[in-house]
Structure 1
């Protein structure tokens, strides 16, 4: 879709400003080539972008195509010239950059302003970070490359192929629909958190696992469990940090629900009752995480890969089962009660259940106490299902500690709710 940004002020020709912007972006792309003392620099790149912009604005399609061919030919000549020089290397970067500059000039002149600027900035960044990118690529192991390819297939090949609309499970017995993209997105989350966690652990050691638990919990606290189980399987000595990571994921999940409650009710009468018990979950989870992990201990981490494809697919299967069971139970209960729905929704996404309760409160359909209990039931269900998911893991002690400390946190929050209702 064409960018809607208008460059020209009243009385100024839009085409002139597009040509000027194309020239400026060409100069921007040529800065790094000029600094690197390549055969094509600022002036050449600017002229190439201007040429494409002029042909596009004047709607000279034939000349635009011919100009593109000439840029390609010039790029080939520059590459051959590099072979004949003392270095005797075939350098295609400058040649391809000239073609990018030509494309940016044409795109901007056609009115795709944001797209053209984005391409120019990203291309310049790739040129500037040449050494860092080469160091990163050369430092990757074969297993890391394989994991990166598997993740790309999960996120960018399979996910777009899944249907956007909910899919009805065949047969009349279950009579439920499943959003396959949501389920697969959870698989991608698990793999993505695994990559982030792998990078942090490689840099900071075992302590990085717990840090990832919190930040991963902001996106999907349930997805953190699959990653932590995989890490405990690879490195049992890191189980104390994995326990802390899951508790910190609970804290992040409760913080997210708290923010949803405050943001969506601040205009229509702030919903205050959930603040204390949700705050207790946050504080309690952080305190338990700080207590359970020996932060002074140096754990030698030797993770073999960023994530296990078999592990994340198995986690996706468990998550799909939770979704199916929750949908069947919800359909059978019908509208029997908001609380049952909140618990079932919390098994999949406590944020969705929290948002639903807040919207009902805003509309006057439920009172403050009912909204608080619905939010807390969803939060409790999310904590409970994460503890349950560790049970089939490789370490019974790890699963037991997660279950015990999750119960302690939920017990403290429940005691506060009872005291508030008394």
Structure 2
């Protein structure tokens, strides 16, 4: 009998109420793990029970028709309990009162996660739980980064946030300007989200490199490459000039910057085609994934991952940087559309290859926009994105060739050639 019940639970789909309640409890335990490790008054058991409470009340409201007031009452009880914990921290002279408040808010989040999962919003509930846990775990790093920001960076961040969220709702969903007799179908809101997303990637990775940059090649090369691949090459050139024995480490950092650039382009290609009127650009996984895997394999076999260095990145907290990327993107989009009309797909390929010398992200974004407007097929958009990625890899190799260290520039050239060859061979799968 027990085996039959167990098999029913295993075979039950996610829509089943029992499975959703169990998932809510598991996510609550996940949220409470960090609080338990930090030895707070509310830990794994409390958070799990709170998530279960949110799930049970949601099920009763949805399926037993007991009224939504029950759900509100549960939320109110969690808030009261959280306030009591915060007050207890104050009265006990807790020097870390901020964490007591954090625990109180986290309890309410756990209740919300339970309600989301029980209501059928499983992906949303998991996302909230993971992001919330990440914020709890990275408390020290987030505080150190925030305290290290200058007044100018704070002002630029505020300006960027205001423009990012104020501009989006006033932009039209669709716009079809006519340039040189060519009508270009655009989605201004989506385009603005792309610009904000690329700027956001730079900001997040600037924070990661600022916090962990001196702790290893993976951070310096990969996350530095997401923030600014040119800065990675410049830093490595300086390292090799000062310490010739650092050539192996410097080559690996540049290859990881190439991998980071490919990851960013792949993320743009997939994220802004999923859920749209066109099919997701899954084809991009083949050539770009090949470049990424080859870069990591080569660095894993040739470099000492414990080697590290500091990297001086230009602060991305600037509206000028975001608008500069937007300007490059629009130029590529317009010239790419005209080239595609006048010279066919080959014309856009040439544009993507040339624009990749300046910004592979801009060329990738342009290809995605044209694909969403059905001016390019999925295979054509994928090839254009690969060409922009190839162009960026070539630029790094050319910059590395300026080094006087023969071993360093020869290795960069050879390994970059391997990445290019691998991407080219993988692209044949898309074309054929």
TM-score normalised according to structure 1 size: 0.54
SS of the aligned residue for 2:11 comes to coil
Q: Deviations over 1:110-147 (max 9, x none)?
A: 22333323333333333333334333333333344445
Q: Please, which runs of 5 or more residues in structure 1 have no aligned partner?
A: 1-5, 217-222, 258-262, 268-278, 287-297, 361-374, 388-397, 414-422
SS of the aligned residue for 1:92 comes to helix
The aligned residue for residue 65 of structure 1 is 72
The aligned residue for residue 220 of structure 1 is none
Q: Please, which runs of 5 or more residues in structure 2 have no aligned partner?
A: 1-7, 242-249, 267-281, 299-307, 356-362, 403-408, 415-419, 421-432
**Which residue, 54, 60, 67 being the options, matches 1:52?**
54
**Are the counterparts in 1 of residues 54 and 112 from structure 2 also a CA contact under 8 Å?**
yes
The aligned residue for residue 79 of structure 1 is 86
TM-superposed CA distance for 1:317, in Å, is: 2.2
The aligned residue for residue 133 of structure 2 is 124
CA RMSD for the aligned pairs?
Answer: 6.0
SS of the aligned residue for 2:41 comes to coil
Q: Deviations over 1:63-102 (max 9, x none)?
A: 2211211221222222222222223746312211221222
1:45-194 counterparts in 2 under 5 A?
A: 45-59=47-61, 60=66, 61-87=68-94, 89=97, 91-149=100-158, 152=161, 158=167, 162-165=171-174, 167-169=175-177, 173=181, 175-178=183-186, 180=188, 181-182=190-191, 185=194, 188-189=197-198, 192-193=201-202
* Match status 1:18 vs 2:26: no
Distance 1:208 1:153, change over 3 A: farther
User: How far, CA to CA, are the matches of 2:204 and 2:87 in structure 1?
Assistant: 40
* Match status 1:316 vs 2:326: yes
TM-superposed CA distance for 1:38, in Å, is: 3.0
User: How far, CA to CA, are the matches of 1:380 and 1:93 in structure 2?
Assistant: 44
Of the structure 1 ranges 47-56 and 121-130, higher mean CA displacement relative to structure 2 is found in 121-130
TM-superposed CA distance for 1:30, in Å, is: 3.1
User: How far, CA to CA, are the matches of 1:153 and 1:132 in structure 2?
Assistant: 25
The aligned residue for residue 203 of structure 1 is 213
SS of the aligned residue for 1:168 comes to coil
**Are the counterparts in 1 of residues 213 and 310 from structure 2 also a CA contact under 8 Å?**
no
Distance 1:114 1:77, change over 3 A: same
Q: Deviations over 1:273-294 (max 9, x none)?
A: xxxxxx9xx99xx9xxxxxxxx
User: How far, CA to CA, are the matches of 1:345 and 1:12 in structure 2?
Assistant: 43
1:294-313 counterparts in 2 under 5 A?
A: 305-306=315-316, 308-313=318-323
Of the structure 1 ranges 101-110 and 317-326, higher mean CA displacement relative to structure 2 is found in 317-326
